[in-house]
Amino acid sequence: MAGKGAATPATYSPSLTTVKGKKKPPIFADDANWVRSDGRHFHQCRPAFLRTNAVNSASGSAYAEFGNTKVIVSVFGPRESKKAMMYSDVGRLNCNVSYTTFATVHRNQGSDSKELSSMLYKALEGAIILESFPKTTVDVFALVLESGGSDLPVIISCASLALADAGILLYDLVAAVSVSCLGKNLVIDPILEEESHQDGSFMISCMPSRNEISQLTLTGEWSTPKISEAMELCLDACSKLAKIMRSSLREPLSASEE
């Protein structure tokens, strides 16, 4: 199909027949009575499914599924740094995030992976004991199989789990949670639809047992009380998520002991 492939006709994915001018979905309603499309409470996270050892050929790996958000992270190393790299007495961390072509509703529209990669790097950097592997590099590669909202926090949590699975020394697991501001309401762990209508977003990645925050991002317009409310929500959710992560790390161990 080489000849045909070159002249691939422009394609589009058919959109839904929604009559224009119809009242918008209740997500825009500014009252406190609307229900989230997946029936969750505002302050309820999606059920998290975490599993380590997803990729056999990697040193460590993890798979995370939060609703429709599905992410695989592989960790390779510590291994030889690139030849061009200068000597370094602390280890290097290299992060890369990519999307599958079918991850999003429209083909090939995955978010900017460069930005996500650097965000992932910054969230994990502080949690890894880089002094433990001088001269070498740890590669953290993430692939978003399906994007269903709150991609970055899921990637970060999944990546820290994969690092732990690879036996990289960490100060603590990094758990990340985001909150969207929709009108007056704060919704935690937003899905794609909610994210696209949000007025502002807030994300925290933290190390719950050390009570330290490794990354905090804030976009949109926020009032100070809103921020502290969001912060409390996130920190609470992070500590719960970290417990789930910890138990998923123990699972394979207890299974092998039996």
Partner 1 sequence: MAAASGSDLSSEMEVDAFRRLFPLHFHERHLLKSIRPDGRTLGKARDTIISLGAVTSANGSALTKIGCTTMLAAIKLEVMTPTVESPDEGCIAIDFHMPPICSPIVRPGRPADAAPVVAKQLSDTILRQLRYLWKNSGMIDLKELSLVSGKAAWMAYLDIYCLDADGSLFDAALLSAVAAFSHLQIPVVSLNDEGRIVLVSEDNGGGKLEKEPVNKEKRKLNLATIPFSLTCVLHKNYILADPTAEEESIMETLVTVVLDSSSQLVSLYKPGGPVLAHTSAIQDCVALTRQRLKELQKILNEAISDMEVD
Note whether 163 and 62 are within 8 A (CB): no
The CA distance from 87 to 164, in Å, is 26
Q: Which stretch binds partner 1 (CB under 8 A): 29-37, 50-58, 240-248, 250-258?
A: 50-58
For residue 33, give both structure tokens: 């009575």
Q: Is 32 in the site for partner 1 (CB under 8 A)?
A: no
Please, which residue, 142 or 164, has the CB nearer to partner 1? 142
Q: Is 103 in the site for partner 1 (CB under 8 A)?
A: yes
Of 37, 98, 118, 209, which one interacts with partner 1 (CB under 8 A)?
98
Please, which residue, 41 or 114, has the CB nearer to partner 1? 114
Q: Is 58 in the site for partner 1 (CB under 8 A)?
A: yes
Q: Is 72 in the site for partner 1 (CB under 8 A)?
A: yes
Q: Is 137 in the site for partner 1 (CB under 8 A)?
A: no
Cα first-last separation, the chain: 53
For residue 251, give both structure tokens: 């699972």
Determine how many CB atoms are found less than 10 A away from the CB of residue 184. 10
Q: Is 57 in the site for partner 1 (CB under 8 A)?
A: yes
User: Residues 141-160 vs partner 1: string with x where CB under 8 A?
Assistant: xxx-xxx-------------
The CA distance from 258 to 249, in Å, is 16
The CA distance from 205 to 216, in Å, is 6
Q: Which stretch binds partner 1 (CB under 8 A): 72-80, 182-190, 197-205, 230-238?
A: 72-80
Note whether 244 and 231 are within 8 A (CB): no
Q: Is 14 in the site for partner 1 (CB under 8 A)?
A: yes
CA-wise closest residue to 144 among 202, 66, 77: 66
Q: How far is the CB of 171 from partner 1 (least distance, A)?
A: 25
Determine how many CB atoms are found less than 10 A away from the CB of residue 105. 10
Give contact residues for partner 1 (rule: CB under 8 A).
1, 4-5, 8-18, 54-58, 61, 68, 70, 72-74, 76, 79, 96, 98, 100-105, 107, 139, 141-143, 145-147
